[in-house]
Structure 1
Amino acid sequence: MFLTRRTRGTRRRARFAAWRRTRPFWAGALLVLAGAEIAAVPLAPVSVLVGLGLGGVAALGIGAALVAAGLFLWFLPHTRHYVGMHAVILSVLSFAVTNLGGFLAGMLLGIAGGAMGFAWSPGQQPPAQASEQPAPEPPRLPDPDPGAAAHPPHKTLAVALPFVLLAATAVPAPGPRPPAPVPGSVSVPRTPPTVTTTRFTPDGFTLARVAEVPTADGPRRAMVLSMRAASLRDYRLRTRDGGGAELALDADELRLGGRVTLYLTRLTGCVQGILCLTFTPDRLPVPPVAPPFVFMTDVTAEQALVASGTIGAAGLALRPGRSPAPPPAPPPP
């Protein structure tokens, strides 16, 4: 009885191994893991899912699609090229429309699984199953490139496809870039105004770089954030005029449009309302490109300059702030 059970187990493992070798099994396994990881974060209490909004719904959809892609590679291996290519595209898009691609882990697993599925090819038929008298092979022309046989074109494309897609995603939308301020034309105050907002939502890709802006004390390095448009909720700006008095500009919502460029010397906020970070000209975000649907909450920034085609405000109010305390009188002689 023991030998019979052991023999059955060995046969089952042998049949499974034979079945696994006829399809891109590990590529499908990676895609199933990627889909489960991307969809795991939104599968939380309803209050968390509602807070995630469109990103949570997109994570569920992309996660289910990647799991289905993995099952297709298992049970329909002849669709590997189509499924693998679209799995890589979905994995790259998950970084932009979900919770950063499952915090990068799901995106990387999906890219690896899709590329492996696209590049997989069935092995050669065993000699025992080959025909008794195979047909003669046609004459083969000499290969002009000896290294082409070792690297078939579809495998090279599978390796390069994820990097091409990532590079395409990192390129911002084409459009005229507002030039940096020309020394002498715009004078930035010595002390940049302080801006606070409860939610900063850029529209389109956000590109970060570093430039020098002119001030009364000479050039000063600043972060330059370029985007198509932006919305700032509960906008508060505090600045000082030439006499030192504080001025306050408040708005329930400030909307900037027409190729927005922000010159900031410091930016602090919570990305997606979760990860709180501080950025300076010496500490730019990595990578210096933020995809759409990425927002920040509880933002505090030192704003040196703003360039925008249009500005719209709701509930705008301008009022004097607190005046600085007068210096103490000198003691009597």
Structure 2
Amino acid sequence: MLLKRPRPSLSPSLSPPFARQRRRLRTWRRTRPFWGGLLIVLGGAELLLVPLSPLTVLVSLGPGGIAAIGIGAALVVAGLSLWFLPQARAYVSVHALLLSVLSFLATNLGGFLVGMLLGIAGSALAFGWTPLPAGAAPGATGGQDPCEHEAHGSGPRALAAVLPVLLAAALATGAPPARAAGGPGGPPTATRTPPSVATSLFAPQGFTFAGVTEVATADGPLRVLVLKMHAASLADYRLRTHDGHEEYGLAATSLELRGNVTLYLTKFSGCIEGLLCVTFSPDGLPAPPVIPPFVFMTRVSAEQALVTSDLIVTDGLRLEAS
């Protein structure tokens, strides 16, 4: 009769090497949006490496290369912030998403799309990540992944899954053209030539891109970008227009637009956060669908077909003619 000897248990000294360090790393990783931060760091690193690569024929270390270095470094910092400051994940992930989208315009096609897509995917994962419930300790779930409870939620994770799809659709096709305006329910008829507008600071609140439409003019419909916001503050506002041989100018030290503000623009350019300068037009790449409320633009110039607002408040208004 053969007796089966009991299998000896492993003592702590016989445990696999680095087991304690692996457990600590796993616990640390599960308490923060680790994978989202990793993808953002990889995307930023790729944007940094492209202008520094030996591909001198394909990559130019000019304004696009300098912007790639700046955006890449900012994405790396954002990814590390998600690791070490997980409580600020919503704020950081939105910033990283905006920088990733802008890299397509300001750099070498977003690092030939690789860095941009990594940044977008990482931002979506970080935005949809949620911490453990209060009182739940990692590793105390009976062998179950402590993050598995999040799979049944449909809030932030659903938004994170849909966000890249909506963003890609906006980048690829923009918003569908709407009917020509000027009829019932539409904006009034615009002038033949849109006035030029310049301001040193443009600070919107609740800024959204409402698509591309057409406004009626005496020479026919005019394609415009439609930008909507709750309010906007403009500093050193200057408007130039001409009617026949006369040119008129309107200037103000400050201009406040409040309540249901809608801008109809044929061209819009400026420097986001005073650093990254971009230009949008109806026939080019449209503005991102949603702009975070803390974003402002400097050195703004635009061709403004129409503007509507519930209230306009100015300071130091001057009318000039030449």
Give 2:231's aligned residue: 229
Structure 1's 100 and 254: CA in aligned 2 closer, same or farther, altered over 3 A?
Answer: farther
Is 2:129 aligned against 1:115? yes
Compute the TM-score of the two structures, normalised by the length of structure 1. Answer: 0.56
Relative to structure 1, is the Cα distance of residues 249 and 19 closer, same or farther in structure 2, using a 3 angstrom cutoff?
closer
Q: Which has the larger radius of gyration?
A: 1
Q: Following the alignment from structure 1 to structure 2, what is the Cα–Cα distance between the partners of residues 294 and 68?
A: 21
Q: In structure 2, do the counterparts of structure 1 residues 287 and 27 end up closer, same or farther at CA, with 3 Å as the change threshold?
A: farther
Partner of residue 157, structure 2: 162
Equivalence for 1:264: 265
Secondary structure, counterpart of 1:289 in structure 2: coil
Q: 1 CA distance for matches of 2:305 and 2:242? A: 13
8 Å CA contact retained: 1:257, 1:309: yes
Question: In the superposition, relative to structure 1, how do residues 229 and 118 fare at CA in structure 2: closer, same or farther (>3 Å)?
Answer: same
Change (3 A) 1:12 1:208: same
Amino acid aligned to 1:67: F
Contact 1:92 1:166 in 2 (8 A): no
Q: Report percent identity of matched pairs.
A: 39
CA distance in 1, matches of 2:98, 2:240: 37
Letter in 2 for 1:115: W
- The match for 1:196 is 198
- 2:29 corresponds to 1:25: yes
* Gap change, CA 1:288 and 1:314, over 3 Å in 2: same
Deviations 1:198-241 (A, max 9, x none): 11111223333111100111111100111001111101100012
Please, what is the CA RMSD of the aligned residues? 4.4
Match of 1:67 among 76, 79, 84: 84
- Give the Å deviation of 1:108: 3.0
Question: How far apart, CA to CA, are the structure 2 residues paired with 1:209 and 1:113?
Answer: 25
Following TM superposition, by how much is the alpha carbon of 1:252 offset from its aligned partner in structure 2, in angstroms? 0.6
1:175-207 Cα distance to aligned partner (Å, 9 max, x none): xxxx95328983211111000101111122333
Whichever residue aligns with residue 289 of structure 2, its letter is P
Measure, in 2, the Cα distance between the counterparts of 1:201 and 1:191.
26
What is the aligned partner in structure 2 of residue 250 from structure 1? 251
Distance 1:180 1:162, change over 3 A: farther
Give the TM-score normalised by structure 2: 0.58
| Offset of residue 26 of structure 1 | 5.7
The 5-angstrom pairing of residues 4-19 of structure 1 reads 13-19=18-24
Contact 1:91 1:106 in 2 (8 A): no
In 2, are the aligned partners of 1:197 and 1:235 still within 8 Å (CA)? yes
Measured in 1, the distance between the counterparts of 2:298 and 2:161 equals 26
Residue 238 of structure 1 is matched in structure 2 by 240
**Residues 244 and 230 of structure 1: CA distance in aligned 2, closer, same or farther (over 3 Å):** same
Q: Give the superposition deviation at 1:290.
A: 1.1
- Work out the CA distance in 1 between the residues paired with 2:160 and 2:140: 26
Confirm or deny that 1:276 pairs with 2:281: no
Structure 1 contact 189–215 (Cα < 8 Å) conserved: yes
Listed as ranges, the matches of 1:23-172 within 5 Å are 23=27, 25=29, 28=32, 30=34, 67=84, 69=86, 87=87, 90-94=88-92, 99-100=95-96, 103=99, 108=122, 111-112=125-126, 115=129, 154-157=150-153, 161-164=156-159
Aligned-pair CA distance for 1:107: 9.6
Amino acid at match of 2:205: D
Residue 73 of structure 2 is matched in structure 1 by: none
Contact 2:259–2:309 at 8 Å: present in 1 too?
A: yes
Q: Residue 312 of structure 1: CA displacement?
A: 0.9
Structure 1 residues 201 and 115, CA, compared in 2 at 3 Å: closer, same or farther?
Answer: closer
Evaluate the alpha carbon distance shift between residue 118 and residue 164 of structure 1 in structure 2; reply closer, same or farther with a 3 A threshold: farther
Letter in 2 for 1:237: L
Q: Which amino acid aligns with 2:22?
A: A
CA contact (8 A) 2:215 2:223 kept: yes
Distance 2:250 2:304 in 1: 13
Q: Which amino acid aligns with 2:255?
A: L
Q: Which runs of 5+ in 1 are unaligned?
A: 1-7, 38-59, 70-86, 126-151, 171-178, 322-333
Q: CA deviation at 1:94?
A: 3.2
SS at match of 1:221: strand
- Alpha-carbon deviation of 1:258? 1.5
Residues 190, 215 of structure 1: 8 Å contact kept: yes
How far is the alpha carbon of 1:270 from its aligned partner?
A: 0.7
Contact persistence 2:268–2:302 (CA under 8 A): yes
SS class of match (1:233) = strand
Name the CA shift for 1:255/1:68 in 2 (closer, same or farther; >3 Å).
Answer: closer
Distance 1:211 1:286 in 2: 14
